[in-house]
Structure 1
Amino acid sequence: MVRIVIVDYGMGNLASVRNALRAVGFEAAVSDDPAAVAGADGLVLPGVGAFGTGMQNLARRGLDQAVRQAAAAGRPVLGICLGMQLLLAEGDEGGPRPGLGLLEGRVARLPDGLPLPQIGWNLVEPQRDHPLFAGLPTPFWAYFDHAYAVEGEPPSIALALTDYGRTYPSVVGRGNLLGIQFHPEKSSRAGLRMLANWGRMVCDLISTRPST
Structure 2
Amino acid sequence: MIAIIDYGAGNIKSLQSALSKLNMDSCLTTNEHVITNSKAIILPGVGAFKDAMDALNEFSLTEVLQKEASLGKPILGICLGMQLLYDKSFEDGEWEGLAILNGTVKRIDSTVKVPHMGWNTLAHQSPNNLLTNINEQEFVYFVHSYYVDECNEQELVCSCDYGVQIPAIVQKNNIFGMQFHPEKSGKNGLQLLKNFGEMVL
CA shift for structure 1 position 153 = 4.8
Match of 1:101 among 88, 99, 102: 99
Match of 1:81 in 2: 79
Structure 2 length-normalised TM: 0.97
1:36, distance to aligned residue in structure 2 (A): 1.5
1:85/1:150 contact within 8 Å kept: yes
Who is 2:69 aligned against? 71
Q: Which residue of 2 aligns with 1:24?
A: 22
- Contact 1:121–1:141 (8 Å) recurs in 2: yes
Which secondary structure does the structure 1 equivalent of 2:28 belong to? strand
Distance 1:167 1:199 in 2: 27
State the alpha-carbon separation in 1 of the partners of residues 12 and 94 from structure 2: 27
**1:91-141 CA distances to partner (integer Å, 9 max, x unpaired)?**
111211111001111110000022211110001111111111111101211
Runs of 5+ unmatched residues, structure 1: 204-212
After superposition, what is the alpha-carbon deviation per residue over 1:35-86, rounded to whole angstroms, capped at 9, x for unaligned? 2223311000000001111111001101111111211111110000000000
Corresponding position of 2:140: 142
Q: 2: distance between equivalents of 1:47 and 1:5?
A: 14
- The one-letter code matched in structure 1 to 2:12 is L
Q: What is the TM-score with the length of structure 1 in the denominator? A: 0.92
In structure 1, distance between residues paired with 2:34 and 2:86: 22
Aligned twin of 1:190: 188
The equivalent residue for 1:210 is: none
The residue aligned with 1:124 is: 122
Distance in 2 (CA, whole Å) between partners of 1:79 and 1:162 is: 17
SS, match of residue 143 in structure 2? strand
Q: CA RMSD in A?
A: 1.0
Name the aligned partner's letter for residue 127 of structure 2. Answer: D
> How far apart, in 1, do the equivalents of 2:128 and 2:154 lie?
14
Q: Does 1:164 align with 2:162?
A: yes
Distance 1:165 1:123 in 2: 13
8 Å Cα contact 1:40-1:70 kept in structure 2 = no
* Structure 2 alignment gaps of length 5 or more: none
- Counterpart of 1:51 in structure 2 is 49
1:152 Cα deviation (Å)? 4.4
Deviation at 1:171, TM superposition (A): 0.9
Question: What is the number of residues matched between the two proteins?
Answer: 201
Query: 1: CA distance between counterparts of 2:151 and 2:161?
Result: 11
Q: What percent of counterpart residues are identical? A: 36
Q: Provide runs of 4+ in structure 1 moved above 6 Å.
A: none
Q: Is the 8 A contact 2:102 2:151 kept in 1?
A: no
Cross-structure match for 2:90: 92
